[in-house]
Each structure stands twice: as C-alpha cells, then as structure tokens.
Amino acid sequence: MTRRLVVIGAGMASGRMLEHLFEAGFDGHVTLFNAEPRGNYNRLMLSPVLSGEKTYDQIVTHDDAWYAAHGVACRFGEAVTRIDRDRKVVVSKRGETPYDTLVIATGSAPFVIPVPGKDLPGVVTYRDLEDTNAMIAASRPGAKAVVIGGGLLGLEAAAGMAARGAEVTVIHLMGHLMERQLDPAAGYLLQKDLERRGLRIHCKGATKAILGKDRVDAVLLEDGTVYPADIVCMAVGIRPEVRLAVDAHLEVGRGITVDDRMRTSDPAIFALGECVEHDGQLFGLVAPLYDQARVLAATLMGQEAAFRPVQTATKLKVTGVDLFSAGDFADGPGREDIVFRDPGRGVYKRLVIEGNRLIGAVMYGDTADGAWFFGLIKDGTDIAPMRGTLIFGPAYRGGDRGGPSGSRCSLAA
C-alpha cells in the first residue's frame, strides 16, 4: 500500500485524480509539487479570465481548505528538478522528498517557434495565469496585439484581447483557421465571423522574425508584411513536458510511455495527463485526462481499471461563436458527406459517414445537436434507419420532413 504519494504537477489531471483517490478512502500522505506558484485551477477557463468574463478566483478548483482537509502537503511554486529512482526521492529547491509511489503530471510546454526576437519582453505563450495576466495588462484599448497561431488556443487568446479593446491580428500558417478541427468551409465561416468582430486574420502567413530592441515592436512575415505589436502571443502547439522522465531514464516516446493502468516503465512511478503517451497516442484535451485520472486512482487503490481512449469533441470558447467538431472528417475512400448550408443564418453542418456509421461531424452557427451527433459517433450507432433526416438532428427522427426553407442539403460521396 502506498504510504507516501508524491505528485509532480498540480494541473487538471492530477487534481481530478486526487479527488477520486480521497473519495475512495486513500489514507496515505500526499505531497503535491507545482511549478506554478498556486494549486489546481481550471486551465480551460483562462480564456474567460482573459476576456474579462471570469476572475481567477472563480476558476480555482481546489482551495486551501480542500488541501488541508485531505492533509495534502502543498509545495506550490516549487518545481521538481530531478527524480532519483534508486533512492526513491524527488529533488527540488528545498531538498529531497521521499516517495513510495510517484505520479508525474507535468502537462505540456508550449512550443515556441525559433525565430529571431522570440525571447523579447512582450512575447508570451498561452498556458498559465502569468501568460493570461501579461495579455490582460497589454490589452489596453487601442493597443496592438499579434497572435501567432489560428488554432483553438490562438483564437481564444485573440478574442480575449480583442474583448479588452486591443486591435488584434492573427497570423496562421495554414490555409484556414483551426484546420485540425474544421474543414475549409467551416474555417472560412469562422474567419468571416471573427473579421466582423474586428479581428484581422492573415492565413498562409509564415513568421520570419519578431522585431524590437528592448521590447517587442512588430512581427515580420516571410512575405515582407510587418504587423506592429505591443504584445505577441505564440500559440502554435504544445509538447508533452517529459524532461524529468527523460533525465530519470524512464521510457519516453513523444510522451512518457504508460500502460493501460497509467504505469510507466518503473513500477513505482505513474504518469497521467498531457505528459503521457498511451498506445502511441498523445492527449491535448481534458476529457481523456479525466478518464486517466479515474483509472490511476483505482490503480493506486489496488483496484482493476484500464484506460481506453475515447473520441473527443471540441468547442471554441469565444462568446457568440458556435462551433463544434468531433471525430474524423477527412475525405477518404468509402466515406460520404452529408452537408447542410444555410448561408442566410450562417449555418453549416457536415457529417462524415463510413459504412452506415457516423465518424465525424463539423458544425458552425448551430451546434445545438452536437452532443447527439457526438453520441452517435462514440456509440458507433447504425445510422441507416435515420439517414434521410440525420443532418436535421434528433428532432427530425422518425419522419423525413426536409429542412428549413432557404437551406441546402447535399449528399456527396
């Protein structure tokens, strides 16, 4: 039985894991390290904090009273710098802490494109409260902000700074926004929507350098375009934070390799969250991490549990923008599309079907049925009996009544 449990990283995954663990009656002693100078909070909600819709206090998930009630020794603002597996201790600035069982939950590190000027003051990434506060401070009305990266995080950063009055330009390398979640048609609608809200969007834009002497001044693109900037946010992707595991000679691929029970190559060390690789897969959304948290808590309690990744769905947290994407929507042999367009209402829906199963859904402008479609994808439901009306959602099941007037629905193989 684990008496001394040490957890590295107080993020979304470890917070949920500790909840399950204490609910299951864990009576060992927990020491929780966090590089950030604070405990667990809802990282997803940094975007509403940035836009001014929430305060930091409102997104804290575990407060001092919770840690005290469960006897958690909090070591916040104290990064673990080394794991000594032979002696079963972790090393931090205050010395060594012994463990019987160790959990690594170090999340991801934002990727920084290696261009000249990347280290200038005023260049931030988007990962934690410090990044968020830096963007809030810089987003005075009329200030100029450049966001590099038109994915989920970049657009939330852009919308948040715009909501505070900054003039925001988004530079995106690819041909349309959020290309990992959206097809070109939905990406185009999103771009138009954001432009109507005052954002400038530059697709197919490659950053050449960030300009400035003592502080960022502007962003220079490969095509010679220069965008003045008081602040630059790089949101171009994340990498699993695996340095401790690599140094400790644990098995690491792109992430820390774990089995179905979240065990690493060392039986006394477990890992969960964005830092892990399971069956060749990495994770960047919170839903599968919560499953990992449940499995790891059960494992630590000596119960049987196995992690099986499930499909995830994505929504963009920009107020007034309705967007939903789930599953696989790439073209391919044997795949068919059902597409619904209502340009007047700015509504676009695309379902991707393979062998009478729904395998992907993209929706823009009206996402009310997103959860229902997501359920069909996850359950692998045979959609043959409802195919004629499928695109109109659950309300139309049972009778083919056609779509709203002015809309267009097409089936394309």
Ligand X SMILES: Cc1cc2nc3c(=O)[nH]c(=O)nc-3n(C[C@H](O)[C@H](O)[C@H](O)COP(=O)(O)OP(=O)(O)OC[C@H]3O[C@@H](n4cnc5c(N)ncnc54)[C@H](O)[C@@H]3O)c2cc1C
Q: Which residue is nearest to ligand X (CB)?
A: 11
Rounded to the nearest whole angstrom, what is the least distance from the CB of residue 186 to ligand X in the complex?
Answer: 17
Rounded to the nearest whole angstrom, what is the least distance from the CB of residue 378 to ligand X in the complex?
Answer: 15
Degrees, nearest 5: CA angle 394-395-398: 80
The residues, any chain, with a CB within 8 Å of residue 133's CB and separated by 6 or more, are: none
Q: Which is nearer to ligand X, 191 or 325 (CB)?
A: 325
The residues, any chain, with a CB within 8 Å of residue 201's CB and separated by 6 or more, are: 150, 169, 170, 172, 177, 191, 194, 195
Rounded to the nearest whole angstrom, what is the least distance from the CB of residue 325 to ligand X in the complex?
Answer: 12
Distances (CA, A) of 363 to 50, 244, 334, 347: 25, 40, 22, 8
Q: Where are the alpha helices (DSSP H) in 197-268?
A: 243-247
Rounded to the nearest whole angstrom, what is the least distance from the CB of residue 218 to ligand X in the complex?
Answer: 25
- Which residue's structure tokens are 């959020």? 178
Q: Which is nearer to ligand X, 44 or 412 (CB)?
A: 44
Q: Which is nearer to ligand X, 244 or 323 (CB)?
A: 244
Rounded to the nearest whole angstrom, what is the least distance from the CB of residue 106 to ligand X in the complex?
Answer: 4
Q: Which is nearer to ligand X, 59 or 221 (CB)?
A: 59
Which residues sit opposite 327 in a β-bridge?
360
Judged by DSSP in three states, 244 sits in helix
Q: Give yes or no for a contact between 105 and 11, defined as CB atoms under 8 angstroms apart.
A: yes
Q: Which is nearer to ligand X, 43 or 350 (CB)?
A: 43
Amino acid type, 220: L
Between the CA atoms of 68, 74, 76 and 80, what dihedral angle is there, to the nearest 10 degrees? Answer: -160
The binding site for ligand X (CB under 6 A) comprises 8-14, 33-36, 43-44, 46-47, 79-80, 105-107, 126-127, 153, 156, 241, 244, 273-274, 284-287, 289, 317
Rounded to the nearest whole angstrom, what is the least distance from the CB of residue 405 to ligand X in the complex?
Answer: 35
Rounded Cα–Cα distance for residues 125 and 147 (Å): 9
Residue 200 CA to chain centroid, in angstroms?
Answer: 23
Rounded to the nearest whole angstrom, what is the least distance from the CB of residue 11 to ligand X in the complex?
Answer: 2
Q: Which is nearer to ligand X, 9 or 391 (CB)?
A: 9
Q: Where are the alpha helices (DSSP H) in 202-338?
A: 243-247, 286-300
Rounded to the nearest whole angstrom, what is the least distance from the CB of residue 271 to ligand X in the complex?
Answer: 9
Rounded to the nearest whole angstrom, what is the least distance from the CB of residue 284 to ligand X in the complex?
Answer: 6
Q: Which is nearer to ligand X, 212 or 284 (CB)?
A: 284
Element (H or E) spanning 370, and its range? Answer: helix 370-379
Q: Which is nearer to ligand X, 132 or 169 (CB)?
A: 132
Residue 348 CA to chain centroid, in angstroms?
Answer: 24
Q: Which is nearer to ligand X, 148 or 211 (CB)?
A: 148
Hey, what are 374's tokens? 């997501």
Rounded Cα–Cα distance for residues 185 and 192 (Å): 11
Element (H or E) spanning 220, and its range? Answer: strand 216-221
